[in-house]
Amino acid sequence: MDIQEIQDIVQRVVEEVQKNMNSPKNDTAQNKEEVIHFPEGRIKGIDNPHNAASIERAQSITPARIGIGRTGTRMLTTSYLQFLIDHAAAQDAVLRDVSDDFLQKMGLHKLETKANDMKSYLMDLDAGRKLSDESIKYLKQNGDKGKNVQIIVCDGLSSSAVEANVADLLPALIQGLKLKNISVAKPFFIKRGRVWVQDEVAAIVNCDLVISLIGERPGLNTDESLSAYMIYRPTEKTVEADRTVISNIHKDGLTSLEAGAYLSDLIEQMLLAKCTGVSFAQQRNTNT
């Protein structure tokens, strides 16, 4: 093929592209956004597997990407796109703030820690464990003092977990505690709060037990998992072993409503035992 033939081919391609670009389009098609429907569930992706029962059994006990198929040495396009979607959701959960509309709807006043931005929150652990001076002042003046239980909601590492679970969990928890004649302080929200911030809160409001509902570190299986950390009368000598945690609160784990009922029962037992963490677990084992 000589140069002239190549130039002729290029010219025809250019003319065809220009023709398509200049062709009139249907007004409805121009104004309508393209909607791509992507399957919610993960595609198994294996046609005619040698042992379908083994794959189904593995998939039934783990949300890991098992049996998704491949093309050559790579995963299928649909599986790859799902991976990217899950990864983006995990990043959004960490970097996005809990909306003010949600906090207003839940009646949660917003306090803040000494972590002024997400970078300081992620890099400086102590910044997320201490309230800002303004928040300390507010809590001293307006916090409910001397109650049995103080509930804190923290974004932690997943704002998505807070918005997905707290709307159902918080009312269920408060109702369960009040039915047991346990006094509950007015709950509030702490932005960029870590678990240990509950120690400072407990000292200010002088409660018996503080529970933090905090977003867990998101993964590629869910970005909506919430944890509940409980501590009885923390002091300067309190360590991690003194805390009790219930994790994996989300729609595919311990559901929000179930968590509310379970946590209220658990807190009642902790108040009677006057301890949490390892000491509480040992008492339960001894009693049973």
Q: pTM for the full model?
A: 0.75
Q: Are 148 and 209 in contact (CB under 8 A)?
A: yes
Task: Please state the CATH superfamily assignment of the domain spanning residues 100-287 in this structure.
Answer: Ethanolamine ammonia-lyase light chain (EutC) (3.40.50.11240)
Q: Which segments within the chain are labelled E, that is strand?
A: 109-112, 149-154, 188-191, 209-215, 226-232, 244-249
Residue 40 annotated as lining a ligand binding site: no
Write out the chain's pLDDT in tens, 288 residues: 556 665 666 567 666 666 666 665 544 445 556 665 655 555 556 777 778 788 778 777 776 777 777 778 887 777 777 777 777 776 665 667 789 999 999 999 999 999 998 888 888 889 999 999 999 999 999 999 999 999 999 998 788 889 999 999 999 999 999 999 999 999 999 999 999 999 999 999 999 999 999 988 766 667 788 999 999 999 989 999 999 999 999 988 899 999 999 999 999 999 999 999 999 999 888 876
Spell out the domain ranges in the chain.
52-61+68-95, 100-287
CA dihedral 107, 189, 251, 58 (to 10 degrees): 180
Residue whose entry in the numeric block shows the structure tokens 């306090």: 111
Residue 195 annotated as lining a ligand binding site: yes
